[in-house]
Structure 1
Amino acid sequence: MTAFDPAGVRLVATDLDGTLLHTDGTVTDRTRRVIEALEARGVLVVFVTGRPVRWMETLWPHVGDHGLAICSNGAIVYDVAQHAVSELRPIPREVVLEVADVVRREVPGTAFAVERADGFGKEPVFHPEGPTGPDLRVASLEEIAGDGVAKLLARHEELDPAGFWARVEALVGGLVTTTWSSVGALVEMSAAGVTKATTLAAVCAEHGIGPEHVLAFGDMPNDLALLEWAGRGYAMANAHGSVLAATEHHAPPHDEDGVAQVLEDLFGL
């Protein structure tokens, strides 16, 4: 890979929770000014998040004029200007059901939910972490799993997060891409080969941008592939230990506007 040159950065890819956002979920004025300054220089700022589209409404004003975000760990590319999904990389329904059957059999007590482009569905025993919205559907997995599943979520109320993820990965890692970004035992599954990194790589290719021109920020295991693919990847100081150990470059904590601090230094803002 070509050596990273800050002057050649054409795109900044940043995770949201634990990275760009403060603990209270807000974008500060300082961070907003930095994003606007980069946009004015022609540098694209793309949000690359595990969040579903339904959790993004209050953040769209901060995306920038290009109006682009990658949601659901790479399963969805969203056109903000058009308020529409421009690309969906779904898990086939038969794979959703096969994965659930295997995990249910081998890890009793696992509950499931699905993130879809058109809403959220969950089994009655699945306890979601965030708001579910008016489109919530509560039913069996067979009923809520269709052809538009962006993410399959598996939760266990008793197992530790790392151990649960390792178990699920060992069981179904050949069928789906598994990762986790939660403090609880919640495993997020995308279609095989779909990650934040693979989708961003496809978006960058459409814009003629190579990884050497990309700067990335993240804090959790679902960001690792992104940080490794980018010309330079920064783990936040508050990042999960595995992410800090795997990355050379670290940014100040998210509650200290760490992303903004790094960008101000690199671009002389």
Structure 2
Amino acid sequence: MPIRLIATDMDGTLLRSDHRTISPRTREAFAGAREAGIDVLAISGRQPYSIGAIVADSPLDGAVVGSNGSVAMDLLTREVLFEETLTVEAQRAIVEGILAEFPHAKVSSSREAGNTYVTQHGYAGLEDPGAEIARWEVSHRRADLDEVLAEPSVKLAILDPGVPAESLLALARSLDVPGAFPTTSGAPFLEIGKAGVSKATALARFAEARGYAPEEVVAFGDNNNDVEMLRWAGLGVAMGNAVPAALAAADQVTSHHDEDGVAKVIERLLA
């Protein structure tokens, strides 16, 4: 079947190691795909405001999926296409389980399509998300843990600077909290979303709405939060820098993200 949709993760996949720039060759490859009538989609653990700042005026500017599949938005209109949230009960249960083992962990909640952060006092490394590259203003406030967990989240981040994210992930998976889906993306924190929601479910939802079969979809990724998407797509492509789980889930492996791995595959597909 012909390729009708190309979906790409951002950090470690589409972007260079600066986590900000798309190489000229990769931009040209996506422009070529668009000219060939192929739809394209950025799909990330980032929130839409952050995705939007990076893909602005590029071939990927339009509909995007953020928060590991929990939020889809049309960047051009700011319309929220869909949103899935982690319940208060599930997030409280998983945080309690994490804190029982790692009492110094801190928590941040992303809400309202990723446009609002409520972050626990003492959480390091997220001093003001509105100050990073953002397409529009983002609300951020510090609060006690009870307030952080008081409302549903599109994504919950749990960080302990002294504990690797993979150790937090192993614990979260062992807790097996109903309603919660833990993953990691290469960032130093654990990411929790709603159970049953992933980049794969969001990609499937996006594709189905446009009449695309899985066999007509190519997906690129590099980390644990890309595994389900790589398995779902007709052609799942892992980056040369991908983690073992992503490599195992993929149909193909391309070059490192700093070596235009995504562009090389798109160029071959278009040829």
Query: Same fold by TM (over 0.5)?
Result: yes
CA deviation after TM superposition for structure 1 residue 246, in Å: 3.6
Alignment of 1:93-112 (within 5 A): 93-112=88-107
Q: Deviations over 1:150-177 (max 9, x none)?
A: 1011112222332221011111443311
Flag the 1:88–1:225 CA change in 2: closer, same or farther, 3 A.
same
Partner SS, residue 149 of structure 1: coil
Q: Structure 2: state its 5+ residue gaps.
A: 131-137
Contact 1:99/1:175 (8 A) holds in 2: no
**Structure 1 counterpart of 2:55:** 59
Aligned to 2:235: 232
Matched residue of 1:215: which SS? strand
Aligned positions of 1:69-80 closer than 5 A: 69-80=64-75
Partner of 1:142: 146
State the one-letter code of the partner of 1:114.
Answer: S
1:127 counterpart residue number: 124
Any runs of at least 4 consecutive aligned residues in structure 1 with deviations exceeding 4 A, and if so which? none
1:216-255 correspondence to structure 2 within 5 Å? 216-255=219-258
Q: Percent identity?
A: 32
Unaligned runs of 5+ in 1: none
Q: 2:3 aligns with which of 9, 14, 18?
A: 9
TM norm structure 1: 0.90
CA offset digits 1:15-68 (Å, max 9, x no partner): 011101111220122111111111112111100100112322232322547x11
Alignment of 1:26-37 (within 5 A): 26-37=21-32
SS of residue paired to 2:158: strand
Q: Give 1:14 shift.
A: 0.3
> Which of 187, 198, 201 in structure 2 is aligned with 1:198?
201
Q: Number of residue pairs matched? A: 260
Q: Distance in 2 between matches of 1:35 and 1:146?
A: 41
Q: Distance in 1 between matches of 2:127 and 2:142?
A: 15
Tell me the C-alpha RMSD between the 2 structures.
Answer: 1.9
| Matched letter for residue 132 of structure 1 | P
Contact 1:218 1:234 in 2 (8 A): yes
More moved, 202-211 vs 137-146: 137-146
Deviation of 1:146 (Å): 5.0
Distance across 2 between alignment mates of 1:265 and 1:130: 42
